[in-house]
Structure 1
Amino acid sequence: MWKKAKGESLQRFSGKTSVIASGAELLGDLHFEGAVQVDGRVRGNLHTSDGVVLVSQDGEVVGEIRAPRVILQGAVKGDVHAAELLELGASARVSGNLYYGVMEMAAGAHIEGRLCRSNSLEAPLELPAGLGSE
């Protein structure tokens, strides 16, 4: 199930896929169109209005993720905003709040934070009042 979903998501962005390789570290924010696959480490925010973020099993993001589709198999320390679909693999480890349209979660995924479902897939996700001031 995960391979099919991941392949369909990344295949749509053929020619617009970036990879943060294993052993590489990106310092700073990345704004992009298409897909980004994190096999290494990102210390910054990942933002796209039309794309997908994949954090592989050995990948790590320390910062906020905002994308229509987010697939997590590795570690994230920060809030995740997936307007359409959030997929959490069995090895996903998240320390932050999750905002999503639809979520799929495999047994074994670990979350330390709040789960906040969006009522509308059409509107961009925004922080609920009061959550940002804790």
Structure 2
Amino acid sequence: MLKKKSSWHDGQAVDTLIGAQVVLHGDLQFSGGLVVEGRIHGRVFAAPGQPATLTLGEAGLIEGVVDVPVVIVNGRIEGDVRATERVELAPRARVSGNIHYKVVEMRAGAVLVGQLMHLAEGEPAQAAAPVPAQLDALPEAANA
């Protein structure tokens, strides 16, 4: 029987890696650790009742709604984010959409074009509709 092993990325367990040369069209459901260095055009969400962490690298881009317990962003997201546990916006993070969060950490240099909305205890874990991309209008986003 094969045993599933996780590797590690910046202290986080990685079960799945989407490399920089990968472009995925469609929705992606996962559990465990997912690192995205490529592009996803579609919804990214955690399997119900499973722990999940999404790490979006500097070169990564997600165009769609993200609905994952733990979200770590250092790339671009064009759509709403719902992090039922925690969201971290690293210095090169660019988010065009609303962020629904329980705990948020935003580093200097991160850009948010949207609203931060705190999730109350017991609030259902379903994401809002995606918003149109507005990041290209920001001068610093063109250099990202």
Report the RMSD for the aligned CA atoms in angstroms.
Answer: 2.0
Q: Does 2:105 correspond to 1:107?
A: no
Distance in 1 (alpha carbons) for counterparts of 2:58 and 2:79: 17
Structure with the greater alpha carbon radius of gyration = 2
Aligned 8 A contact 1:100 1:125 in 2: no
4+ residue segments displaced more than 4 Å: none
After superposition, give the CA deviation of every residue in 1:23-58 in whole Å (9 maximum; x if it has no partner).
110110011111211101000111004201111011
Q: Which runs of 5+ in 1 are unaligned?
A: none
Total equivalences in the alignment: 119
Change in CA separation of 1:32 and 1:126 when aligned onto 2, cut-off 3 Å: closer
Q: Which runs of 5+ in 2 are unaligned?
A: 1-8, 132-144
Distance in 1 (alpha carbons) for counterparts of 2:117 and 2:104: 10
Percent of aligned positions that are identical: 34
Q: Which amino acid aligns with 1:93?
A: R
TM-score, length of structure 1 as denominator length: 0.81
Say which SS state the counterpart of residue 87 (structure 1) adopts: strand
Q: Which amino acid aligns with 1:97?
A: N
Q: Does 2:85 correspond to 1:84?
A: yes
* 1:123 Cα deviation after fit: 4.1
Q: Does 2:56 correspond to 1:27?
A: no
